[in-house]
């Protein structure tokens, strides 16, 4: 069913439910004011707001005693807006926010952990991908918020090239290095892999996974800096080694153009790339000769998504995945009726039709946190037909990365706020740039980075 068809069906059902509810109400009940709650969403685009409003209206039709007011809040402004609302004593009953915000708000004691945990237990903990719960855990068996959607990062690679060469998928360090070396043929303008080497966020995202594979962390659970360790040094050395098989020069995500034009075996990227690989209009920007002097452009390959594999978790000392979890959190309320209303609305948002309608607002960018939804025919039938191009088996492989999600800023359920200061100053990507582009030794670059980290957090 196309998105327009699904929305039309919801509108028809909504109208019918409204008429039925009005006709069936006793006069005294009709006069009763509904419980009004605010739902803050980070989906601020007008089209997405319309979809969420439709969901809220559909919910109201079957729950006329509850009115949900949808309020858009920019993701970057969420902490500031929450602080202002808290100071004014006007907290929303429900909000959509990232896992790091969930831990920050939870640490301030402004989230209702019991309600969030109750929702998770009601749905069934085993129904969620384990990694998504781990990022929201406040204490064993307790959760600051409920996982709702998110995305995964990993290596997208030419599975047809790997198969022809008899190479294993790039799911271990050894397999990654072997493939990067094998496909690196710069004389033919072909490269083995793309990892970030420019001093920017993409480089930090790529490197984070390698560090986590090797049990290398920046902090312990108490927030003490633990950067300069043998595990971290080994991860940095390996990253610098495979960066040798990049296209020339300091590189960022833009070098995905090499992959799109058949000049690269694999690259790190999030699931947001899925529509670019599958749709001609989305890939067009990567098929020109405008971005790189040694790329002349190429034709759209409608089979590229079928020829592409995905390695969402890679193992060294431990399997690790990297991504973002967006949750639904309940703010503490003075009126228990508002808490109960918010709970009912979240239960509605987890129903199959409502959940999939929400997720289809951004195919590739919004993956479900529930296993049964992720591989359902209804979810795979997105409005643009993107998921069908990959197929059910590959979709299951992609979403499996949610089982092993890890992050630098979340350690044993604790949000390490100091990491934000390190990330803001781009210390890690600067270190990678020094090593890969300026020839600075790993030891010297690590000493510089550790010094800068201490300055940042002090």
Residue ending a domain, among 404, 430, 446, is 404
Going by C-alpha positions, the residue among 67, 108, 33, 44 that lies closest to residue 329 is 108
Which are the contacts of 235, defined by CB distance < 8 A and separation ≥ 6?
Answer: 207, 210, 211, 213, 214, 216
Same domain, 199 and 88: no
Distance between CA 26 and CA 140 in Å, rounded? 47
Same domain, 350 and 312: no
Q: Please tell me whether residues 334 and 390 are part of one structural domain.
A: yes
CA distances to 48, 177, 228, 231, 338 from 442, in Å: 46, 19, 11, 13, 55
Q: Which domain holds residue 287?
A: 152-321+412-457
Please tell me the predicted confidence (pLDDT) of residue 412: 86
Q: What is the largest CA-CA distance in the chain?
A: 82
Distances (CA, A) of 343 to 21, 93, 111, 260, 329: 21, 9, 13, 45, 10
State the Cα–Cα distance between residues 180 and 170, nearest whole angstrom.
9
What is the domain count for the chain?
Answer: 2
Task: Give the span between the Cα atoms of 456 and 458, in whole angstroms.
Answer: 6
Beta strand extents in 275-420 (DSSP E only): 308-311, 314-315, 319-320, 322-330, 367-368, 410-411, 414-415
Q: How far apart are CA 227 and CA 214, in angstroms?
A: 13
Report d(CA 81, CA 71) in Å as an integer.
Answer: 11
Taking the chain (458 residues) in consecutive chunks of 10 residues, what is each chunk's mean pLDDT? Answer: 47 46 46 89 97 97 97 95 95 96 94 98 96 94 97 96 98 96 97 97 95 94 95 98 97 98 97 95 95 95 95 87 95 97 98 98 95 94 94 92 91 89 95 98 98 95
What is the number of residues in the chain?
458
Q: What is the three-class DSSP state of 23?
A: helix
pTM over 0.85: yes
Assess contact for 95 and 329: CB atoms under 8 A: yes
On whether the CB atoms of residues 352 and 123 are closer than 8 A, the answer is no
Q: What is the pLDDT of residue 318?
A: 87
Q: What CATH number corresponds to the domain at position 285?
A: 3.40.190.10
Query: Can you give the pLDDT at residue 36?
Result: 97
Name the nearest CA neighbour of 406 among 397, 394, 395, 419: 419
Q: In this structure, are 433 and 286 located in the same domain?
A: yes
Residues 92 and 180 in one domain: no
Give yes or no for a contact between 163 and 435, defined as CB atoms under 8 angstroms apart. Answer: no
- 184 and 197 in one domain? yes
User: How confident is the model over 443-452, as pLDDT tens digits?
Assistant: 999 999 999 9
Tell me: do 179 and 297 sit in the same domain. yes
Please indicate, yes or no, whether residues 306 and 428 belong to a single structural domain of this protein.
yes
Q: Say whether both 21 and 99 belong to one domain.
A: yes
Assign 446 to helix, strand or coil: helix
What integer pLDDT is reported at residue 333 of this predicted model?
96
Q: Which long-range contacts (CB under 8 A, 24 or more apart) does 160-163 make?
A: 160/307, 161/265, 162/265, 162/309
In this structure, the answer to whether residues 70 and 104 fall within a common structural domain is yes
Residues 360 and 442 in one domain: no
Together in a domain, 137 and 189: no
Interatomic CA distance for residues 150 and 163, integer angstroms: 30
Residues 437 and 242: beta-carbon distance below 8 Å: no
């Amino acid at each position: 069913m196309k998105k327009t068809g699904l929305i039309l069906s919801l509108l028809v059902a909504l109208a019918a439910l409204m008429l039925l509810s009005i006709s069936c109400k006793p006069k005294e009940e009709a006069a009763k004011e509904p419980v009004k709650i605010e739902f803050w969403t980070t989906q601020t685009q007008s089209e997405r707001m319309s979809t969420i409003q439709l969901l809220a209206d559909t919910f109201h039709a079957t729950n006329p005693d509850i009115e949900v007011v949808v309020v858009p809040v920019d993701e970057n402004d969420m902490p500031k807006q929450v602080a202002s609302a808290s100071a004014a004593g006007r907290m929303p009953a429900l909000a959509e926010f990232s896992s790091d915000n969930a831990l920050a708000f939870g640490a301030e004691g402004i989230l209702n952990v019991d309600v969030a945990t109750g929702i998770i237990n009601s749905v069934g903990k085993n129904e969620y991908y384990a990694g998504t719960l781990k990022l929201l855990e406040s204490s064993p068996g307790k959760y600051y918020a409920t996982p709702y959607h998110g995305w995964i990062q990993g290596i997208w690679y030419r599975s047809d090239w790997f198969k022809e060469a008899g190479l294993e998928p790039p799911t271990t360090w050894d397999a990654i290095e072997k493939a990067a070396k094998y496909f690196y043929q710069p004389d033919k303008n072909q490269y083995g892999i793309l990892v970030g080497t420019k001093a920017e966020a993409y480089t930090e995202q790529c490197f984070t996974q390698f560090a986590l594979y090797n049990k290398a962390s920046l902090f312990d659970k108490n927030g003490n800096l633990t950067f300069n360790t043998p595990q971290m040094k080994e991860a940095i050395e390996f990253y610098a080694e495979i960066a040798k098989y990049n296209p020339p020069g300091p590189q960022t995500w833009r070098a995905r153009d090499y992959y799109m034009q058949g000049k690269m075996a694999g690259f790190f990227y999030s699931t947001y790339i899925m529509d670019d690989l599958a749709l001609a209009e989305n890939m067009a920007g990567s098929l020109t000769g405008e971005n790189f002097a040694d790329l002349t452009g190429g034709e759209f390959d409608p089979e590229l998504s079928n020829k592409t594999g995905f390695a969402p978790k890679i193992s060294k000392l431990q399997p690790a995945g990297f991504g973002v979890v967006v949750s639904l959190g309940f703010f503490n309320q003075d009126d228990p009726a508002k808490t109960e209303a918010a709970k009912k609305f979240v239960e509605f948002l987890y129903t199959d039709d409502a959940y999939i309608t929400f997720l289809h607002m951004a195919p590739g960018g919004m993956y479900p946190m529930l296993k049964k939804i992720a591989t359902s025919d209804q979810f795979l039938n997105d409005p643009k037909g993107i998921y069908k191009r990959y197929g059910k088996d590959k979709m299951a492989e992609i979403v499996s990365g949610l089982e092993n999600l890890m992050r630098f800023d979340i350690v044993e359920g604790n949000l390490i706020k100091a990491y934000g200061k390190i990330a803001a100053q781009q210390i890690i990507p600067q270190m990678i740039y020094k090593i890969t582009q300026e020839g600075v030794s790993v030891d010297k670059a690590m000493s510089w980075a550790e010094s800068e980290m201490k300055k940042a957090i002090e």
